[in-house]
């Protein structure tokens, strides 16, 4: 098991995928974080005068800006984990992988472990990008950075955990849907279109909102404790979001269930 994990780690580090995706994450998060900071920092005073505009309490601004790493960036570790599996199918490297590690279960668990760690790394770097771009803008517009607050660093730690869990979920998705194009299209369609619609739609009817809390994106935002999306969703309805640990549990269970389903079906198929 230790050997298989070390081999998976080497696989992760020996192609260009890891830094390409990391660059995409940093760019995406830096852009979003900067945009949010400018929007609510520079325009904050104007917004405050318009009662119909969305309002953000001054001490919540930093959390919303910093949490852009998970609010928008979670799709990157999810794709990373998916590609870690579908890439092996696409390039036929499952053959040498299973020759060296004949136990399919060990091979899959090793991937989950390595991608969990890699996802945490992506989380840390993405967080640095969010704070690095967002904090100077907040400071320049006279906002509260909250960088000495324990709550901010709790949020940071949970964001790293969320990113790690998303990468683990990705491994499960890839083991279940082994066609690379299909897997990536499904991941993008679900995270960028289906789930946002479901979250938005469910917020208008209380029983649906109760269920909507358990959508993976909502659970992720609950785990982190802040998100630009959860700040505005809800249509003013009083549905309490999940606790942070409940959100984390939803993601962990999702990762386990999807990976186990993949193991039982596609992962154990003949490699021809």
The answer to whether the beta carbons of residues 126 and 78 sit under 8 Å apart is no
Residue 101 near other proteins by CB under 8 A: yes
Q: Are 66 and 33 in contact (CB under 8 A)?
A: yes
Burial class (CB in 10 A: 0-12, 13-18, 19+), 146: buried
Which of residues 19, 91, 153, 193 is near other proteins by CB under 8 A? 91
Q: Which residues ranging from 222 to 241 are in contact with other proteins (CB under 8 A)?
A: none
- Least separation in angstroms between CB 57 and other proteins: 47
DSSP conformation class of 241:
P
Kindly tell me which of 39 and 112 has the beta carbon lying closer to other proteins: 112
Closest distance between other proteins and the C-beta of residue 3, in Å? 5
Decide: is 51 part of the binding site for other proteins (CB under 8 A). Answer: no
Tell me phi and psi for residue 214, to 5 degrees: -90, 0
Task: Give Cβ neighbours of residue 105 (< 8 Å, ≥ 6 apart).
Answer: 263
Output the smallest distance, CB 75 to other proteins, in A.
22
Shortest spacing between CB 110 and other proteins, in angstroms: 9
Shortest Cβ distance from residue 131 to other proteins (Å)? 32
Angstrom CA distances, 149 to 57, 156, 224, stand at 16, 11, 15
Helix (H, G, I), strand (E, B) or coil at 90: helix
Binding region for other proteins (CB under 8 A) out of 47-55, 99-107, 128-136, 229-237: 99-107
Give the shortest CB-259-to-other proteins separation in angstroms: 20
The stretches of the chain forming alpha helices (DSSP H) are 2-13, 17-42, 44-49, 61-66, 68-71, 75-90, 94-100, 104-140, 150-176, 180-189, 195-202, 206-212, 216-224, 228-232, 244-264
Q: Which of 21, 31, 42, 87 binds other proteins (CB under 8 A)?
A: 87
- Cβ 122 vs Cβ 113: under 8 Å: no
Q: How far is 169 from 95, CA to CA, in rounded Å?
A: 23
Contact between 3 and other proteins (CB under 8 A)? Answer: yes
Under rule CB under 8 A, residue 15 binds other proteins = yes
Decide: is 54 part of the binding site for other proteins (CB under 8 A).
Answer: no
**19 lines the binding site for other proteins (CB under 8 A):** no
Q: Does residue number 117 form part of the binding site for other proteins (CB under 8 A)?
A: no
Choose which of 19, 54, 103, 185 interacts with other proteins (CB under 8 A).
103
Residues in contact with other proteins by CB under 8 A are 3-4, 6-7, 10-11, 14-17, 87, 91-103, 270-272
């Amino acid at each position: 098991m230790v050997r298989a994990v070390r081999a998976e780690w080497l696989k992760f580090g020996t192609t260009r995928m890891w830094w390409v995706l990391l660059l995409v994450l940093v760019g995406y998060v830096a852009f979003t974080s900067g945009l949010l900071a400018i929007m609510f920092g520079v325009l904050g005073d104007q917004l405050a005068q318009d009662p119909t505009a969305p309002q953000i309490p001054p001490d919540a601004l930093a959390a919303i800006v910093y949490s852009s790493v998970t609010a928008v960036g979670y799709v990157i570790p999810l794709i990373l984990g998916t590609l870690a599996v579908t890439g092996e199918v696409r390039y036929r490297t499952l053959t040498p992988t299973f020759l060296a590690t004949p136990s399919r279960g060990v091979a899959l668990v090793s991937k989950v472990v390595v991608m969990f760690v890699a996802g945490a790394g992506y989380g840390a770097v993405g967080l640095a990008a969010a704070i690095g771009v967002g904090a100077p803008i907040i400071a320049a517009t006279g906002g509260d950075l909250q960088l000495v607050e324990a709550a901010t660093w709790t949020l940071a730690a949970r964001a790293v955990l969320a990113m790690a869990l998303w990468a683990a979920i990705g491994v499960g998705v890839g083991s279940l849907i082994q066609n690379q194009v299909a897997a990536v299209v499904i991941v993008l369609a679900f995270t960028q279109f289906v789930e946002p619609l479901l979250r938005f739609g469910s917020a208008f009817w209380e029983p649906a909102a109760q269920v909507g809390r358990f959508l993976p994106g909502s659970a992720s935002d609950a785990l982190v404790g802040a998100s630009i999306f959860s700040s505005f969703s809800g249509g003013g309805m009083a549905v309490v979001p999940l606790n942070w640990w409940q959100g984390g549990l939803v993601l962990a269970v999702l990762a386990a269930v999807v990976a186990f389903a993949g193991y039982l079906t596609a992962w154990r198929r003949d490699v021809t």
